[in-house]
Structure 1
Amino acid sequence: MRSYRIALFSFIMGIGLLPSAFAQEAEAEFPSVEISDMNGKNINTTAITHPDSSLLILTWKSDVKNSLLCLDAISAMKDKIAQSTRTKVIMINFDSTQDVRNAQSTLKEHQWGFVNYLDPNEEFKKAAAIDYLPVVLVVNPQNKIAYRKAAFYLGDEQLVLEALKKISPR
């Protein structure tokens, strides 16, 4: 009977601590790495940020369907983001050098309208501790990652908008 109580107590404690396992950690510094624009020109990620606005980073790969779903959903509300926040939206693609043509054709097909950068060596992905895609990052004007959303489901774009409003209201 005693082992049953211990198991039940452990289970309840595990359920109670589960939300803290997914809680946002302290704001991490925005990584400084070299990525390239669509023309192949190298740029440091810290040169992308602006001190008077937040930065919304949408990470994607052309063969990850959930990434495309995320980009479609955020793109559909880009006017709402522009009206209610001071935010610059960019995309960072992690397709390999051989698959850059797939990324380019995907960009033409979807016409998201955001500036896209390439990270074929996945340096930014490693520096930002991104394990799977998509990941949405919000960087505040102090160059700290203030919000991180891993995975994406329809409706999550509203969570991203609320995070942007908290950080950089218009």
Structure 2
Amino acid sequence: MLAGLLLGMVACSWAAGQEAPAELPSAEISDMNGKIVNTASIAHPGANLLILTWESESKGAVLALDAMTLLKDTIANKTKTKVIMINFDPAADAKKVEAMRKEHQWTFENYLDPNGEFKRAAAISYLPVILVVDQNNKIVYRKAAFYLGDEQVILQELQKLNPR
């Protein structure tokens, strides 16, 4: 009986590991000029997509963006990846968001999701969440929270997909 239980546990863990990658959710967000964009159609032809989610009050998200900014050239040179940021601050804070972006010198494309449509669609409840999306719009890596050193793990995940 114990052997059967162990075999069942192994089979369940193997099946869980075989789960297909999730599709990048479709939600309406806007660029910094107010133009509505659907997340499922953010163009990244021939490249993977790295999505960095953030709010201005999330210290972990700010740390993640600063760390990924330091790796910007490495990401560009060693992987075929487009990097974007999606901010979840309220619409009234758009000027604050832009000021933070300039202050920290974050040059990645920034999108706004003040109504939390993408946040809900992607089941994000804690920030930051970092998503790696392959060229087929499949989420192949998801990281919740951020600690120094995680940027190297993310870089390795990007290099696995399509190294240059």
Letter matched to residue 111 of structure 2: Y
1:43 aligned onto 2:11 = no
Name structure 2 gaps, 5 residues minimum: 1-5
**Inter-partner Cα distance in structure 2 for 1:160 and 1:99:** 29
**Inter-partner Cα distance in structure 2 for 1:47 and 1:85:** 21
1:31 aligned onto 2:25 = yes
Please, which of 90, 100, 111 is the counterpart of residue 117 of structure 1? 111
1:86 aligned onto 2:73 = no
1:135 aligned onto 2:126 = no
Letter matched to residue 148 of structure 2: L
**Inter-partner Cα distance in structure 2 for 1:108 and 1:83:** 24
Aligned length: 152
Q: Which stretches of structure 1, 4 residues or longer, exceed 6 Å deviation after superposition?
A: none
Letter matched to residue 75 of structure 1: T
SS at match of 1:148: strand
Check the 8 A contact 1:66/1:133 in 2, yes or no. Answer: yes
Q: CA deviation at 1:109?
A: 0.6
Letter matched to residue 37 of structure 1: D
Q: CA deviation at 1:49?
A: 3.3
Q: CA deviation at 1:24?
A: 9.7
CA spacing shift, 1:119–1:141, aligned 2, 3 Å: same
Q: Which residue of 2 aligns with 1:166?
A: 160
CA spacing shift, 1:48–1:106, aligned 2, 3 Å: same
**Inter-partner Cα distance in structure 1 for 2:41 and 2:83:** 14
**Inter-partner Cα distance in structure 1 for 2:158 and 2:94:** 30
The 5 Å alignment of 1:95-114 reads 95-114=89-108
| Cα-Cα RMSD | 1.9
Q: Which moved more, 1:149-158 or 1:50-59?
A: 50-59
TM-score, L = length of structure 1: 0.84
* Higher alpha-carbon Rg: 1
CA spacing shift, 1:101–1:82, aligned 2, 3 Å: same
